[in-house]
Structure 1
């Protein structure tokens, strides 16, 4: 027989005692703190990964563009053809190689034989070999003048670009250590074959009256661009970058986005991510400057004069520098935008000034009869949404832009700010009453 229950609330439904409420509150706070710590830990790991990978992403993107885009590659090396230091180096090297292949001793021996046949005095015949030095100097001067005309001409620049365009397919082989075309890896050097230019020089010598130049044997037609005892290591690193070049930038963006999403404070994390990536870009620029000094110290003057080596390095990495500066500017803009959306005194001041300016402009439009009505009211109601769409569109343009520049980023920023200002003015001009409220 069941014992009848006493009337009143059951033990499960009774209110918590003060002690139980305190215990429940402590458990909730402990669990919330644990959850918050886990989110901070995940955010920290994601940010560190994004920071470490961001310089590699910039370098990988640059390397991929040089390999996959022929026009970009030719655009990279084109200035070398008109650089005075490089022109002088090419002129001197080609002159030396042409003159070295002329048999000066054979000429003086032939002259001595001819003099002997004409019964010239023995003293003159015996001293004919002394003409070798002046003859070589005269030939060097003449050949140097002709070669310099060719190398400094617009035609040389065209030949240079054509040679590099044809050689672009060989760049991939160079980076993988299999170069066997116009651009080649030879031991610890990277060289470019200027066979077309050498043939043009020989033809120019013939045209200038040096018919014997047509009989000059084929000379070494390669010019070293780089020399380093770490070429094998560089090729291995480049192959790795080429494999992940497409995905590294996407990975960095995804890691930063996940860090912002997982963080308890989204705005602060966004600002931290932008500042961290900006710092890494500064370190990359410093690293490029250090590598430049190391490279210049490693190139023997006999291989490439220091000024020509410096011009070659600066020209070949200029797009990498430009890309690094572009990412740095984007990071600075992102950090400033995140700050301006925050509670700081400076951020509140900027927002207040911009709001008063756009509001005053909108009210002036409304007073003059240029009211935006329902459209303006909709813009005012959906202010956050429209702002997000405009900013997202600007970010999408930057992502889809193959090679954005600092000037391009500045232009997109200006257009974005202008569009946001126009939308704010249109929202404020919906009605006079709405604009003043």
Structure 2
């Protein structure tokens, strides 16, 4: 009976392991401003995101500023100025600033019914670019609007379906991984043969890691497949990858640790079996 209970607990560990990783991610990264800013910080150097920001600013400037026959030239100047600024430490600082301000909107989009999109205000970036263009004597630069230019970082019509699960995971927080660890600790002593149970537990952890990787891959496909036509797919993919980087790392760590535990337990059990078999074989030889 106890072995059957151990088997059930080990199976639960395989299911709860990816959920535990998602719960920690939801609370400590998406739900925490510093964690969110740290996750988004590498995108300041991502060429795809830089290009999307430059295109968004240039297009909006041309839309709001009447430059007459100079439209193409002014757009190129603005875009080049944004890309030039994007290579400076000041841009990285501005990027972190706008993402810190945007965190509340992103979390709200994921946890409430107030909309299916969240954007970041590019005002700090535009203000710096505008100063540089004015300094360079670019015509119409002083007319560039600083406010009301944003870029979308989260947008999907399917967000509503994921909100309930996200809320539950965020509420579970560290309790879910702690509970999963307790199940793992209890499962092995309950088994009649502990080393095989330990090997099975390692495989369960590895399977949980693969399930987590599958969840991230499916989530990426659904998110990018549901984007509006005016959202840059490559930039959105870079944002998704940045926000889920810790989950991908965690998935491979779980697979590695689980397999290492399973192989070690199997090898120890094999050695134990040989040790038990040797005295039996020796006794048979003496009997002959």
Q: Under TM normalisation by the shorter chain, which class is it? A: 0.7 to 0.9
8 Å Cα contact 2:44-2:95 kept in structure 1 = yes
* 2:264 paired with 1:337: yes
Contact 1:97 1:220 in 2 (8 A): no
SS in 2 for 1:264: coil
Shift of 1:169: 5.6
Equivalent in 96, 100, 103 of residue 161 of structure 1? 96
With over 3 angstroms needed to count, the CA separation of the structure-2 counterparts of 1:189 and 1:348, relative to structure 1, is farther
SS of residue matched to 1:190 = strand
Please list every run of 5 or more consecutive structure 1 residues that lacks an aligned counterpart in the other structure: 1-37, 105-131, 179-184, 350-437
Per the TM alignment, residue 301 of structure 1 is displaced from its structure 2 partner at its CA by 4.4
What is the CA–CA distance in structure 2 between the aligned matches of 1:198 and 1:237, rounded to whole Å? 37
1:157 to partner: Cα distance: 1.1
Q: Distance in 2 between matches of 1:204 and 1:348?
A: 76
Whether the aligned pair in 2 keeps the contact of 1:101 and 1:219 (CA below 8 Å) is no
Aligned length: 275
Superposed counterparts of 1:120-199, under 5 Å: 132=68, 134-168=69-103, 172-177=107-112, 187-199=115-127
Q: Which residue of 1 aligns with 2:278?
A: none
1:260 aligns with 2:188: yes
2:241 match: secondary structure: helix
Which residue in the other structure is 2:199 paired with?
A: 271
Deviations 1:386-423 (A, max 9, x none): xxxxxxxxxxxxxxxxxxxxxxxxxxxxxxxxxxxxxx
The offset of 1:144, in angstroms, is 2.0
Q: Say if 2:31 and 2:170, in contact at 8 Å, map to a contact too.
A: no
What are the superposed Cα offsets for residues 125-144 of structure 1, whole Å, 9 maximum, x if unpaired? xxxxxxx4x42112222222
Is the contact made by 1:78 and 1:161 (CA closer than 8 Å) also made in structure 2? Answer: yes
In 2, Cα distance between equivalents of 1:339 and 1:217: 66
Q: Deviations over 1:362-408 (max 9, x none)?
A: xxxxxxxxxxxxxxxxxxxxxxxxxxxxxxxxxxxxxxxxxxxxxxx
Deviation string 1:83-136 (CA, Å, 9 cap, x unpaired) is: 0011011000100001111124xxxxxxxxxxxxxxxxxxxxxxxxxxx4x421
Aligned twin of 1:101: 64
Is the 1:159–1:197 Cα contact (8 Å) retained in structure 2? yes
Q: Residues 58-69 of structure 1 correspond to what in structure 2 (within 5 A)?
A: 58-67=21-30, 69=32
Say if 1:90 and 1:151, in contact at 8 Å, map to a contact too: no
Structure 1 segment 36-115 matched on structure 2, within 5 A: 38-67=1-30, 69-104=32-67
Q: Distance in 2 between matches of 1:81 and 1:94?
A: 15
TM-score, with length taken from structure 2? 0.85
Distance 1:348 1:85 in 2: 58
2:287 corresponds to 1:321? no
Q: Secondary structure of 1:342's match?
A: helix
Query: What is the distance in 2 between the residues matched to 1:227 and 1:348?
Result: 59
Change (3 A) 1:267 1:238: same
Q: Deviations over 1:192-245 (max 9, x none)?
A: 222211222222222221464333445532211122112123232211111112
Give the TM-score, by structure 1 length: 0.58
Deviation at 1:315, TM superposition (A): 1.7
| Structure 1 pair 89–67 and aligned structure 2 pair: CA distance change class (3 A) | closer
Any idea what SS the aligned residue of 1:299 has?
coil
CA-atom RMSD, angstroms? 2.5
1:221 aligns with 2:221: no
1:53, 1:103 → 2: CA distance?
57
Distance 2:153 2:34 in 1: 20
Equivalents in 1 of 2:103, 2:185: separation in Å?
36
Alignment partner, residue 202 of structure 1: 130
Compared CA separation, residues 94 and 70, structure 1 to 2 (3 A): same
Moved more, 260-269 or 139-148: 139-148
Q: Give the greater-gyration-radius structure (CA).
A: 1
Residue 270 of structure 2 aligns to a residue in which SS? coil
CA 1:168/1:298 → structure 2, altered by over 3 Å: closer, same or farther? closer
